[in-house]
Amino acid sequence: MSSVLKSKRGESAVQFLDTARELEIYTIKTCARFPKRYMFLVTKGIVDLSRQIYNDVKAANSIYPTNAAEAQLRKNYILQANCALQSLLSQLDIAREFIRQNDANKPIKSAVYERWVELITTEAKLLAALKQSDKERYKNLT
């Protein structure tokens, strides 16, 4: 078994799955540190969105289109994941503002928030690339 030098490594074809999984894990770990009183107001929705993203990309990846309808179904899951990503970003912004305005809370550290945004941005780029590659790959299906 040979290994590839880190500088020579490329992006995996299924990196969007790994990133979505990492985003969900990071979200759960981070939300677990929020004050308990915000569980139903703030954090539950954030965790649910991250879970939806991972489930949607897993569902999209499980479809191997043999016709146009299956290709569209795969595309729909990718679009749903992207919509959930955008919603997650909005909800994180609201959570950050909500927690910052309450004097009793410690604000979300910038590094934590930046890592969250980095994961979301990376996943959005990966999904856009996946959508584009699927468009080329499945353009001749009927």
24/49 Cα distance (integer angstroms) = 9
56/79 Cα distance (integer angstroms) = 9
Buried (b) or exposed (e) across 44-59, using 16+ Cβ within 10 A?
ebbbebbbbbbbbbeb
Identify residue 83 by its one-letter amino acid code.
C
45/12 Cα distance (integer angstroms) = 30
79/75 Cα distance (integer angstroms) = 6
- Phi, psi of 10, rounded to the nearest 5 degrees: -110, -175
Give the global pTM: 0.86
- Structure confidence by residue, pLDDT tens digits, 109-135: 789 999 999 999 999 999 999 999 999
Q: Is the pLDDT of residue 95 over 90?
A: no
Alpha helices in 102-141 (DSSP H): 110-137
- Structure confidence by residue, pLDDT tens digits, 25-76: 999 999 998 888 888 888 999 999 999 999 999 999 999 999 999 999 999 9
Q: Are 46 and 27 in contact (CB under 8 A)?
A: yes
Question: Which of 63, 67, 89 lies closest to 76 in space, CA to CA?
Answer: 63
